[in-house]
Amino acid sequence: MSAKTLQDLLAEGVAGRHVLVRSDLNVPLDGDRVTDDGRVRASLPVISALAGAGARVIVMAHLGRPKGAPDPKYSIAPAAARLAELADAPVTVATDVVGTDAHTKAAALTDGQVLVLENVRFDPRETSKDDDERAAFAADLASLTGQDKGQNTGAYVDDAFGAVHRRHASVAEIAAVLPAYQGDLVKAEIDVLRRLTENPDRPYVVVLGGSKVSDKLAVIDSLLGKADVLLIGGGMVFTFLAARGAKVGASLLEQDQLDAVRGYLDRAERTGVRIVLPTDIVVAEKFDRDAAHEVVPADAMESSRFGSTGIGLDIGPESARAFAEEIVKARTVFWNGPAGVFEFDAFAGGTRAIASALAAATADGALTVVGGGDSAAAVRTLGFDDDAFSHISTGGGASLEYLEGKDLPGVTALER
């Protein structure tokens, strides 16, 4: 069964109706300042479309990982303020989730207005392991549409791809309480991921980085049957290098994953998938923006002047060029995880080279997908425009779980 879409809901008519929208406003903050508003901007089209059609829009979202209770440092207020700056419609913010303020402001909404609820994770039932508790919270959320007063005109739109892999009340259970529809952002994300998994144009290159190889084992297992080339960078590369016998100094190393990595290297060789590892590494004296550093061969990292205490913080320039050459030849590229500590300029070279190569591949007609999370933050931090790539995902974890072949509860809930 396919999900009903936002277009289906708009065709039914939304003027005068309360519509709950699960958006992804989980943005990085520096105090009260939003440092990357990409997810806010990605949420705008659906909110604007509903408000423009006369809906009374109630936005649900989370920010960070509060422990089921209000916590000022996780307030949705800065993200909501940025939404208000960008939106064409009037935006107000509730000081609670399903309390007195939320109900008062929801009831006072007029056609075309938007209300943002406080962080849904301030209510412990949102992430509860108990099905009944999550269902009760979903019912309380639905009551903001007047459902508990016999007003059965409310609706729910899931537009938070970054949360669809979570079995949370505002993502899954709510779809059983109100008529449910798939937002345009979720639809676009799923459509792109299907292109990556069902019949990708080849060569198909996957770039994986980030800190821990344990976070990527399942997706590596899946992609070994689909991709032509896997380029490995970031902190996870040191477990791969160690699996091939290299000493990696004080670099991030997951000893308990060495056998699994050796198995993937052997399997890749048997099946004709090329796993490309860096040939040089930028090794630093310590983890610091201004740390002394030098480039050394990847198989001789402890030959640096820092010896066994040196820490690898980026792939080297030779590796960056080699990775770029693989990417620009590809017709399909998926990238998840930076090649190094891109937040420090001295260790951003590998990530910058990968982003530049993806942009060049895009210009040449390839499908290029930046897989959310730190990768999305990296391309914006390094000054690349979003339209330099075919698609920048809003959900790194959700993208990976889809590629792993896992069920995404938020997607499944819409297909009932």
What DSSP string describes 304-354? STTGGG-EEEEE-HHHHHHHHHHHHT-SEEEEES-SS-TTSGGG-HHHHHH
Catalytic residue among 41, 212, 247, 286: 212
Q: Is 375 annotated as ligand-binding?
A: yes
- Residue 181 bridge partners (DSSP): 157
Taken in order 267, 229, 374, 365, the sign of the CA dihedral is negative
E strands present in 27-186: 29-30, 33-34, 56-60, 91-93, 114-116, 155-158, 180-182
Q: Is 352 annotated as ligand-binding?
A: no
Catalytic residue among 22, 39, 134, 352: 39
| All structural domains of the chain with their residue ranges | 6-187, 200-404
Place of tokens 């007003």: 151
CB atoms within 10 A of CB 271: 9
Q: Which H helix or E strand runs over 218? A: helix 217-223
The CATH T-level fold of domain 200-404 is Rossmann fold (3.40.50)
CA distances from 18 to 111, 117, 291 (A): 9, 14, 54
Catalytic residue among 210, 233, 350, 373: 373
- 56 vs 203: CA distance, rounded Å: 47
Inter-residue contact 153 to 128 (CB < 8 Å): no
The pLDDT score that the predictor gives to residue 150 is 62
Place of tokens 């080297």: 316
Catalytic residue among 310, 349, 397, 410: 397
Catalytic annotation present for 329:
no
Q: Is 234 annotated as ligand-binding?
A: no
Same fold, 6-187 and 200-404: yes
Q: Which residues contact 136 (CB under 8 A, 6 or more apart)?
A: 125
- 203 vs 226: CA distance, rounded Å: 10
The pLDDT score that the predictor gives to residue 151 is 65
CA distances from 352 to 321, 330, 356, 379, 390 (A): 11, 18, 6, 8, 17
Q: Is 209 annotated as ligand-binding?
A: no
Give pLDDT < 50 ranges for the chain. Answer: none
Q: Is the peptide bond before 203 cis (omega within 30 degrees of 0)?
A: yes
Q: Is 117 annotated as ligand-binding?
A: no
Q: Is 373 annotated as ligand-binding?
A: yes
The pLDDT score that the predictor gives to residue 1 is 60
Instruction: Decide: residue 363, CB within 10 A, 0-12 exposed, 13-18 middle, 19+ buried.
Output: exposed
For residue 190 the two structure tokens come to 């799923």
CB atoms within 10 A of CB 250: 20
Candidate CATH numbers 3.50.50.60, 3.40.50.920, 3.40.50.1260, 3.90.1150.10; the one for domain 6-187: 3.40.50.1260
Inter-residue contact 327 to 358 (CB < 8 Å): yes
The pLDDT score that the predictor gives to residue 210 is 87
Catalytic annotation present for 73:
no
Q: Is 39 annotated as ligand-binding?
A: yes
∠ CA 109-110-114, rounded to 5°:
55
Contacts 24+ apart (CB under 8 A), 8-11: 8/181, 9/155, 9/157, 9/179, 9/181, 10/49, 10/50, 10/53
Catalytic annotation present for 39:
yes
Catalytic annotation present for 212:
yes
- 368 vs 362: CA distance, rounded Å: 6
In the chain, the amino acid numbered 122 is F
- 53 vs 61: CA distance, rounded Å: 22
- 308 vs 295: CA distance, rounded Å: 15
